[in-house]
Structure 1
Amino acid sequence: MRSLRAELGPVGIRLRPRVAVALAALAAVAFAGVIASVSLGTYAIPVPDVLSAVLGTGSGSADLIVHQLRLPRALTALLVGAAFGLAGAVYQAVTRNPLASPDLIGISAGAGAGAVASILIGGVTAAGAGTFGAVPFGALAGALITATAIYLLAWRDGTVTGYRFVLVGIAANGALAALTRWMLARADIDQASRAMVWLTGSLNGRGYDHVRWAGYALLVLVPLVLALARSYQLLQFDDDTALGLGIRIGRARIALLVLATCLAALATAAAGPVAFIALGAPQIARRLTGTAGIPLVASGLTGAVLLLGADLAARLVFSPTELPVGIVTGALGAPYLLLLLARANRAGKGG
């Protein structure tokens, strides 16, 4: 089967037809998900009115609902889901372990602890306009410190194995969850209640400040990840093969993990530590594209589709009551994790 190839200056992209079809389908579903998120709700808005409001030609209550409530939330879900999907893909590919997800190995917990500290110390809310600025930096600091600690603790005999990395990360996840609970126990009731809603994982009340933050961060981080695409692909082989193919394994692994940690931190800062997306998106994308390795771009698009769908379900299933999106993704993640563990045991990799 012939590949499709496109060139832009020195950059070349080769795609198998199935991969190209999967990417196009995921992009179309993501676009449809944004439209559905803006259109559907307690007050339904026809799609033509949604498009008119987005283009700036709408008027009345529909325009207010679109721009003040639903469109920023849908765009935040799109960007956050893509960030989680990309972060999960990098972690799983670099460690060669499908359980190496930021929400399982402590990265999201570290970002959450840093963000909660910002919320409690600064007396701000994670979703409040004008008060969001401190939260991303707290989340980024917490995630980077956690990732560094996990990497150093997992280092042995000059290398880091995926299995040891996951085990250390799970231990770190428990310790950071306990630290977060301790901070909440010492906070006053108002601050603790705001932080608890955010820790569940929620897109409620998201505004254009969250969209701008996530969008600018992705504009910086995604090109850097794509620039390391060759190293990303080669690191999915064993270390000897990757070394023989000409990459510096240690440097490439650290660079990719730092970028993935930043992606997970920005997503956590914008929506809280949402479960399952980073865990499930890469494996779902691999099955959709039929590739041997984990596809990077498809994982980001799959993450966006998953979070948009979960948020839509959280809003509509028990309408007019809205659930935090983290409850929906957590309900999906529990059986999926059990399935992964069962497959690992059958393959003799369950430890």
Structure 2
Amino acid sequence: MFTQPRTSPLVFGLCAAALLGLAALSVLTGAGRIAPGQVVDYLLGARGDEHLEMVVATLRLPRTLAAVVVGAALGVSGMLLQSVTRNPLAETGLLGVNSGAALGVVVGIVYAGAQTGGAYLVWALGGAFAATGVVLLLGSRFSPLKLLLAGAALSATLTGITSALLVADPVTFDQYRFWVLGSLAGVPLERVLTVLPAILAGLGMAALAARPLAALSLGDDVAVTLGHRPGRVRITVTVAVTLLSAAAVAVAGPVGFLGLLAGYVARTVLRGRIGPQIALSGLAGAVVLLGSDVLARVVIRPYEAPVSLLIAVLGAPVLIVVARSRAVAAGAGDLIAEKSSRGRGILRSRTRGTGGSAPRPSDALPVRLGAFSVLLPLRSSTAAVLLAGLAAAAGVVAITAGQSAMTAGQALNALLGTGEGGQVLLVQQIRLPRIVAGLTAGAALGLSGCLTQALARNRLATPDMLGINQGAVIAVMLAGLTSSAATLFEHWWTGPLGALVAAVVVFGISGGIGTRGYRFIITGLAVTTLAGALVQSLLAWRGLSAATAVHAWTVGSLTGRGYPVALPVAAGLAVLLPAALALARRLAVLRFDEDVSAGLGVSPRTTRLLILALAVVLAGLGIGIGGPIAFVALAAPVIAARLSGPARLPLIGAPLTGAALVVTADTVGRVVADGAEIPAGVVTSILGGPFLLWTLLSDRR
């Protein structure tokens, strides 16, 4: 028996009442010293002065209408994506649709001078349509959790392209850093009315798609039997989501988590048909956004809090709850038992030999020095030499490349101090310290990623995916909140502290260090998104010149970095790398289950704590130098492992690969754009998104 017919009117009535109450509160609250009684009298037709008319009619009423319209659009678009992909984690912000629309708007501003709501809508539609198409294409191939990670990859690439455009255009960045917070302050009525037809069209298409989506939830074959065409339904949903998300971004900027929140509320309250859930998600989105906007005006009066930050505070816990649900966990493919049995099988195969002793690895060469002997792994040693050569080559190219191009011979002479005075100054005082900083930061990030991947037995378990990087960024920014951009980097030592706090939060929420599967990565993604909103808020708080310099570091940049920060981190790396090598055997034993590890004399809990501490400190030190240079911690261990083979952890190859990647990305950023420098983190974000997608597609487990 369904109870929905009795509960639906009550639920919709309560939501409508809440929306009306918040709308009244929104009109009565805000900037401008106006008593609520004056506002009521004005709304009832009484004449007021120009100040009263400006505050009520020009500021508060359009803002209230914008919150309702944008909230409903994002709520319905999120529910549509969740229904068509059968994924409760689908949401336009998390899957990169909002990032696509934001990129479209930035492209319109930079290349077409877009300033009006209509122009924003046109450019946002193009970006949102492309991103939505990619999301739906991936939705048929990925489980719910993997689709969310694929959305993170898409969002990283799109955000990297956006950052590249912003770094080259400070004027657009000044406009973007406030707009990206999702603020509704100062939204003109004309902009809302301009995008209203697109939103109404999207809502109408959502209503028409309700019945086909209900049939599609039973499977494509059942939907065809019932007279529906799955391909046409998906196209309709694509267009509807594009219209709704693009219009919302054009009005208020990219507001994340709102579709996830609205869809979660609708599915929790109404467990029946999809049609009522879509309608309720629109109401819930409007209520959440309008309530958050009202709270943003009063929580730190006389200033305003970023509305996107408030919604992220609400949405991050919901993301974690949904990710831990049974429906999502069932599709995650968490093969714990299979991995454990596989580990025992590997152990038996490795210990099987003559007389019960373990055979010598086939790629190991015995080297004897008197009474001492050691097995030298040929493949991994060869890979380490090759990667060291690549890192050195990347450094040589970085010395010679740039606007003041030099030959390799001139660079060598300048490095030795025997060349021309200008070239010596350029190489020894500017480029060489920057290269040393890049090599050190890349090595720290590469080794940190190798440790976290091995600890979690998951290639996606890297500091940037687990929220550790953003924790370090926030710590450095908070420590230098009152300092200038030039002295901000003196607080690099706070990076490990922030990374440690983020690691404790992520692993504490997800169930401990030994957690397997993808759920703890989703927890890290929630923390990363929340921390990213806080970083954007801190950037908006600073002045334009300081925010421009700090923004480059928050996306990963080596500009202005040299020996003062590189040498202390290099000293720390010289201590932490041998410590990681000393723990290599214990870490390798953790590949088996806990009973086998304990039988081999290794304490799993103590080893995990030591490895996590090493990884967190390394990530914090690397970020203190160059900021959160994305995907280096993911790509470096994977590339090094491909070269060195699966028998051993690439504890030497991963830092060498990371060093080469960071220096190469920094060099590309210096030379690819004429007259502008693209941060290394932007380069790695653009290239790292496809790499993450390849990692997800190639991971059959």
The normalised TM-score by structure 1 is 0.89
**Residues 5 and 320 from structure 1, CA distance in 2 versus in 1: closer, same or farther, beyond 3 angstroms?**
farther
8 Å Cα contact 1:95/1:165 also seen in 2: no
Q: CA deviation at 1:52?
A: 2.9
> Whole-Å Cα distance in 2 between the matches of residues 311 and 268 of structure 1?
15
> Whole-Å Cα distance in 2 between the matches of residues 284 and 246 of structure 1?
31
User: Helix, strand or coil for the counterpart of 2:641?
Assistant: helix
User: For residues 140-198 of structure 1, what are the alpha-carbon distances to aligned partners after superposition, in whole Å with 9 as ceiling and x for unaligned?
Assistant: 22111111111222226x95335333222122111211222232333333433332121
Q: What's the counterpart of residue 37 of structure 1? A: 398
Report the residue type matching 1:77 in the other structure. Answer: G
> Whole-Å Cα distance in 1 between the matches of residues 440 and 371 of structure 2?
28
Q: CA deviation at 1:8?
A: 8.8
> 2:591 matched to 1:231?
no
> 2:512 matched to 1:144?
no
Q: What's the counterpart of residue 83 of structure 1? A: 444
Q: What's the counterpart of residue 272 of structure 1? A: 627
Q: CA deviation at 1:12?
A: 7.1
> Whole-Å Cα distance in 2 between the matches of residues 153 and 57 of structure 1?
58
8 Å Cα contact 1:154/1:161 also seen in 2: no
Match of 2:683 among 309, 328, 340: 328
User: Helix, strand or coil for the counterpart of 2:375?
Assistant: strand
**Residues 101 and 17 from structure 1, CA distance in 2 versus in 1: closer, same or farther, beyond 3 angstroms?**
same
Of 20-29 and 291-300, deviating more is 291-300
Q: What's the counterpart of residue 656 of structure 2? A: 301
8 Å Cα contact 1:84/1:263 also seen in 2: yes
> Whole-Å Cα distance in 2 between the matches of residues 28 and 255 of structure 1?
31
> Whole-Å Cα distance in 1 between the matches of residues 523 and 387 of structure 2?
34
Q: Percent identity?
A: 38
User: For residues 272-307 of structure 1, what are the alpha-carbon distances to aligned partners after superposition, in whole Å with 9 as ceiling and x for unaligned?
Assistant: 100010011111111111224531111111111111
Residue segments in structure 1 that go unaligned for 5+ positions in a row: none
Q: CA deviation at 1:89?
A: 0.2
> 2:484 matched to 1:124?
yes
> Whole-Å Cα distance in 2 between the matches of residues 19 and 2 of structure 1?
9
Report the residue type matching 2:497 in the other structure. Answer: A
Residue segments in structure 2 that go unaligned for 5+ positions in a row: 1-361
Q: What's the counterpart of residue 133 of structure 1? A: 490
Q: CA deviation at 1:80?
A: 0.9
User: For residues 66-111 of structure 1, what are the alpha-carbon distances to aligned partners after superposition, in whole Å with 9 as ceiling and x for unaligned?
Assistant: 0121111111111111111100000000000111011111000100
> Whole-Å Cα distance in 2 between the matches of residues 217 and 279 of structure 1?
21
> 2:551 matched to 1:191?
no
Report the residue type matching 1:132 in the other structure. Answer: F
> Whole-Å Cα distance in 1 between the matches of residues 580 and 372 of structure 2?
14
Of 289-298 and 202-211, deviating more is 289-298
Q: What's the counterpart of residue 53 of structure 1? A: 414
Match of 2:376 among 10, 15, 23: 15
> Whole-Å Cα distance in 1 between the matches of residues 371 and 481 of structure 2?
49
8 Å Cα contact 1:33/1:305 also seen in 2: yes
What is the RMSD computed on CA atoms of the aligned residues? Answer: 2.3
Q: What's the counterpart of residue 311 of structure 1? A: 666
Of 205-214 and 247-256, deviating more is 205-214
**Residues 190 and 43 from structure 1, CA distance in 2 versus in 1: closer, same or farther, beyond 3 angstroms?**
closer
> Whole-Å Cα distance in 2 between the matches of residues 8 and 76 of structure 1?
37
Match of 1:221 among 565, 576, 583: 576
Q: What's the counterpart of residue 114 of structure 1? A: 475
Report the residue type matching 2:413 in the other structure. Answer: S
Report the residue type matching 1:88 in the other structure. Answer: G
Match of 1:24 among 385, 403, 411: 385
Q: What's the counterpart of residue 341 of structure 1? A: 696
Of 190-199 and 146-155, deviating more is 190-199
> Whole-Å Cα distance in 1 between the matches of residues 473 and 585 of structure 2?
31
8 Å Cα contact 1:283/1:294 also seen in 2: no
8 Å Cα contact 1:119/1:195 also seen in 2: no
Report the residue type matching 1:314 in the other structure. Answer: G
User: For residues 312-346 of structure 1, what are the alpha-carbon distances to aligned partners after superposition, in whole Å with 9 as ceiling and x for unaligned?
Assistant: 211222244321111110011111111222234xx
Report the residue type matching 1:30 in the other structure. Answer: A
Q: CA deviation at 1:2?
A: 4.7
**Residues 117 and 275 from structure 1, CA distance in 2 versus in 1: closer, same or farther, beyond 3 angstroms?**
same
> Whole-Å Cα distance in 2 between the matches of residues 10 and 106 of structure 1?
48
**Residues 35 and 183 from structure 1, CA distance in 2 versus in 1: closer, same or farther, beyond 3 angstroms?**
same
User: For residues 223-257 of structure 1, what are the alpha-carbon distances to aligned partners after superposition, in whole Å with 9 as ceiling and x for unaligned?
Assistant: 22222121122223333332222110011101111
Match of 2:562 among 207, 213, 220: 207
**Residues 254 and 119 from structure 1, CA distance in 2 versus in 1: closer, same or farther, beyond 3 angstroms?**
same
Q: What's the counterpart of residue 4 of structure 1? A: 365
> Whole-Å Cα distance in 2 between the matches of residues 88 and 12 of structure 1?
31
> Whole-Å Cα distance in 1 between the matches of residues 617 and 520 of structure 2?
18
Q: What's the counterpart of residue 42 of structure 2? A: none
User: Helix, strand or coil for the counterpart of 1:15?
Assistant: strand
Report the residue type matching 2:503 in the other structure. Answer: A
> Whole-Å Cα distance in 2 between the matches of residues 39 and 94 of structure 1?
39
Q: What's the counterpart of residue 170 of structure 1? A: 525
Q: What's the counterpart of residue 185 of structure 2? A: none
User: For residues 28-65 of structure 1, what are the alpha-carbon distances to aligned partners after superposition, in whole Å with 9 as ceiling and x for unaligned?
Assistant: 11111111111121112232332233334444111000
User: Helix, strand or coil for the counterpart of 1:296?
Assistant: coil
Q: CA deviation at 1:258?
A: 0.8
Report the residue type matching 2:406 in the other structure. Answer: I
User: Helix, strand or coil for the counterpart of 1:102?
Assistant: coil
Q: CA deviation at 1:261?
A: 0.6
> Whole-Å Cα distance in 2 between the matches of residues 103 and 268 of structure 1?
10
**Residues 131 and 337 from structure 1, CA distance in 2 versus in 1: closer, same or farther, beyond 3 angstroms?**
closer
8 Å Cα contact 1:124/1:132 also seen in 2: no
> Whole-Å Cα distance in 2 between the matches of residues 238 and 261 of structure 1?
24
Q: CA deviation at 1:262?
A: 0.6
Superposed, 1:244-263 pairs within 5 Å as 244-263=599-618
> Whole-Å Cα distance in 2 between the matches of residues 105 and 91 of structure 1?
9
The normalised TM-score by structure 2 is 0.46
> Whole-Å Cα distance in 1 between the matches of residues 506 and 525 of structure 2?
10
> Whole-Å Cα distance in 2 between the matches of residues 312 and 12 of structure 1?
42
8 Å Cα contact 2:630/2:688 also seen in 1: yes
Of 144-153 and 89-98, deviating more is 144-153
8 Å Cα contact 2:436/2:562 also seen in 1: no
User: Helix, strand or coil for the counterpart of 1:273?
Assistant: coil
> Whole-Å Cα distance in 2 between the matches of residues 322 and 296 of structure 1?
32
Match of 2:466 among 105, 110, 125: 105
> Whole-Å Cα distance in 2 between the matches of residues 169 and 230 of structure 1?
27
Report the residue type matching 1:166 in the other structure. Answer: I
